[in-house]
């Protein structure tokens, strides 16, 4: 019996060694998203990756003990599984945030870059350099969105469309900035036409990418994210006007941009909502009506001279912002009723007080540093075969036709399709010989 159990342990160790490469690729892909993410995404995902590595180390320590405690082994496996699920949830939220920020207002940056090159002078060189750097970062973000969307798509027409769009954007990135910069040295009309052609092509393909990605995103998850963003924006406005200050125009912009982005996404994916289609369209029409009112209020009270007092203007604008937040919340509640429960993204913080975590901190940090360097190289290479988005996930999905159920929030893209099943088998094998 002991010999049989030892064979099982050896099999587990072999599987752990094999899966280590896959885990490294998963963490590298997650950190690639973190590198280009907004707000605190970098720290959040890095912490989740550290938790995964600590959990993996705990599994190795437990299985290498002279006397393996099966219950403890099961617990460490479950913690490892949960840490991967939590990492996935954090990455999903980060990618949704990228989609929202990029697709809601992708034209402004390239228009600013075009205008800066068109009106270039000796005093604007630093501004131009900043815009070029910002555009390069935006392209990094766009490619990470595209690669993640490929991982969430089955190998069908949608996947092919994504590849084609990304190849066009990859080519345009090489030509676009040089064509813009050429206008700084000459006012020749052919250079302006050349740059303008690339600008229009770039906008066209980003728009196509947005349309394709909208078919991948889970509507309920996107609506929830937008609701939370607008709620935070409303709180900022309230704190601002509580000091007796007039609302600034740019404080209203997120309400208009994000609501319009939500509307585009819902319209793109409306056919997937089935019985909720009609009620969703009704609630979306309410949002559009409020957006129209807010647009008019912004124009009349914030962009033009008005006879109203500061308090009166603040009340009129803020009231419409609050109504818009409530309308988006109603749509989210409607969509939420049709979505299955998903793994929470609030469980990935590294809160373990286990002493073994401290023992492996140095090893974990070294591994994390190595994986981070690999993720940075992935972003620089910008090759479509350089991330976990295409390997090994595409190999697993290649022979199956996945529907919209495999989306940013509904799939266990980074984990369960090839991890959970392995470890449940291992635990089952251990149970057989106890």
pLDDT tens-digit map of 291-307 = 999 999 999 999 888 88
Q: How many CB atoms lie within 10 A of CB 108?
A: 10
- The whole-angstrom separation of Cα 64 and Cα 418 is 23
The pLDDT, as a whole number, for residue 350 is 42
pLDDT for 143: 93
CA dist 177 and 131 (Å) reads 10
Instruction: Give the pLDDT confidence score for residue 77 in this predicted structure.
Output: 84
Residue 208 has what pLDDT? 95
For the purposes of burial, counting CB atoms within 10 Å of the CB of 305, is it exposed (0-12), middle (13-18) or buried (19 or more)?
Answer: exposed
422 has pLDDT over 90: no
Q: What is the pTM of this model?
A: 0.79
pLDDT at residue 367, as a whole number: 61
What was the pLDDT predicted at 386? 34
Q: What is the mean pLDDT of residues 315-335?
A: 95
Section 47-73 average pLDDT: 85
Query: In which residue are the tokens 């949704």 written?
Result: 96
pLDDT surpassing 50 at residue 365: yes
**CA 236 vs CA 145, 151, 251: distances in Å:** 28, 36, 8
More confident site: 416 or 32: 32
Q: What is the Cβ-side half-sphere exposure of residue 189, based on CA atoms within 13 angstroms?
A: 0
Q: Are 91 and 221 in contact (CB under 8 A)?
A: no
Highest mean pLDDT among 74-78, 346-350, 371-375, 409-413: 74-78
Among 68-72, 107-111, 297-301, 360-364, which stretch is predicted with the lowest mean pLDDT? 360-364
Give the burial string for 89-98 (b: 16+ CB within 10 Å, else e).
bbbbbbbbbb
CB contact set of 326 (below 8 Å; sequence gap of 6+): none
pLDDT in tens, 133-179: 999 999 999 999 998 888 887 657 788 889 999 999 999 988 999 99
Asked which of 19-28, 256-265, 315-324 is least confident by mean pLDDT, the reply is 19-28
Q: How far is CA 249 from CA 3, 254, 303, 317, 343, in A?
A: 74, 10, 7, 10, 38
392 pLDDT tier (thresholds 50, 70, 90):
very low
Least confident of 31-45, 65-79, 275-289, 331-345: 331-345
Q: Give percent of the chain above pLDDT 90.
A: 49
- From the number of C-beta atoms within 10 Å of its C-beta (0-12, 13-18, 19+), residue 14 rates as exposed
**Cα gap 53→57, rounded to integer Å:** 6
User: pLDDT band for position 7 (50/70/90)?
Assistant: low
360 CB-side CA count, 13 A: 22
What is the C-alpha separation between 260 and 9, in angstroms, rounded? 55
User: CB of 71 within 8 A of CB of 28?
Assistant: no
Burial 167-205 (b: 16+ CB within 10 A, else e): ebbbebbeebbebbbbbbeeeeeebbebbeebbebbeeb
């Amino acid at each position: 019996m002991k010999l049989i159990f030892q064979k099982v342990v050896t099999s587990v160790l072999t599987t752990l060694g094999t899966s280590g490469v896959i885990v490294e690729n998963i963490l590298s892909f997650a950190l690639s998203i973190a590198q280009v993410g907004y707000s605190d995404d970098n720290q959040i995902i890095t912490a989740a990756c550290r938790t995964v590595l600590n959990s993996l180390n705990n599994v190795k320590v437990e299985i290498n003990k002279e006397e393996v405690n099966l219950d403890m082994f099961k617990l460490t496996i479950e913690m490892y599984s949960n840490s991967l699920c939590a990492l996935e949830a954090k990455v999903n939220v980060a990618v949704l945030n990228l989609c929202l920020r990029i697709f809601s207002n992708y034209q402004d940056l390239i228009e600013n870059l075009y205008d800066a090159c068109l009106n270039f002078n000796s005093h604007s060189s630093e501004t131009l350099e900043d815009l070029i750097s910002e555009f390069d970062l935006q392209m990094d973000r766009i490619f990470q969105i595209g690669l993640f969307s490929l991982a969430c798509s089955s190998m069908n027409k949608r996947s092919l469309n994504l590849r084609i769009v990304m190849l066009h954007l990859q080519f345009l990135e090489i030509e676009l900035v040089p064509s813009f910069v050429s206008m700084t040295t000459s006012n020749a009309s052919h250079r302006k036409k050349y740059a303008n052609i690339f600008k229009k092509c770039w906008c066209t393909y980003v728009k196509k990418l947005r349309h394709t990605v909208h078919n991948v995103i889970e509507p309920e998850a996107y609506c929830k994210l937008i609701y939370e963003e607008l709620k935070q924006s409303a709180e900022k406005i309230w704190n601002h006007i509580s000091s007796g200050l007039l609302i600034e125009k740019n404080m209203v912009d997120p309400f208009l941009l994000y609501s319009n982005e939500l509307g585009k996404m819902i319209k793109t994916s409306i056919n997937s909502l089935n019985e909720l289609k009609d009620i969703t369209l009704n609630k979306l029409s309410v949002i559009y009506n409020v957006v129209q009112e807010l647009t008019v209020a912004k124009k009349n009270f914030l962009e033009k001279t008005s006879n109203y007092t500061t308090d009166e203007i603040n009340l009129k604008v803020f009231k419409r912002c609050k109504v818009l937040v409530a309308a988006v919340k109603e749509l989210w509640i409607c969509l939420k009723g049709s979505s299955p429960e998903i793994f929470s993204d609030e469980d990935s913080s590294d809160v373990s007080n286990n002493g073994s975590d401290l023992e492996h901190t140095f090893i974990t940090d070294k591994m994390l540093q190595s994986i981070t360097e690999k993720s940075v190289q992935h972003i620089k290479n910008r090759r479509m075969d350089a991330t976990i988005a295409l390997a090994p996930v595409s190999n697993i999905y290649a022979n199956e036709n996945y529907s919209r159920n495999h989306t940013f929030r509904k799939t266990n893209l980074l984990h369960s399709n090839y991890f959970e099943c392995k470890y449940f088998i291992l635990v089952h094998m251990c149970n057989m010989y106890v």
